Amino acid sequence: MKTVGLFFGSETGNTESAASMIAAELGEGNVAMYNIADCDASTLASYDNIILGASTWGFGELQSDWENFLPGFDSVDLTGKTVALFGLGDQVNYADVFLDAMGTIYEKVRERGGTVVGSWATDGYDFTGSTAALNGSFVGLALDADNQDDLTAGRISEWVSMISPQLQ
């Protein structure tokens, strides 16, 4: 497996924790992990396989580090890159914008030519709206550390097993 560049932004530590769990599932030696507060989007170009993780804040907004990082995508060509996404959100208190940050990042990745893998079924979630949901699936792994934290480890394990063959 080629080294995977795993990029995350984290305000409260939940996204960083999920990123660490994903890295552990992939095998620590296979992953280079980056907090996006400490790098810029040009670092993405160093990897053929990229995982991006973000949480949704407020009413569908990007986490603050992502607000600064995402505009840098405009100068990065992701053509030929395999990109997997994971997002964190609160499906109870923000049911109408659940995982919208992941939807925003998905759109930018597609715009820049990246091939997105790792869609995740919407079954088992209770939300009313999400820009990250297309045709009955999320565009990446959906996590809710506020209301379904007990399901996080199992979901990560299943998702990593699913995407690993595509990260060769």
CA distance 87 to 143: 6
Instruction: Give tens-digit pLDDT for 56-111.
Output: 998 899 999 999 999 999 999 999 999 999 999 999 999 999 999 999 999 999 99
Domain containing 71 — which CATH number? 3.40.50.360
* pTM (predicted TM-score): 0.96
What domain range is 47 assigned to?
4-167
Nearest CA to 130 out of 93, 91, 106, 98 is that of 98
Per-residue buried b or exposed e for 12-39, using 16+ beta carbons within 10 Å of the residue's own CB: eebbbbbbbbbbebbeeebbebbebeee
Q: Total structural domains in the chain?
A: 1
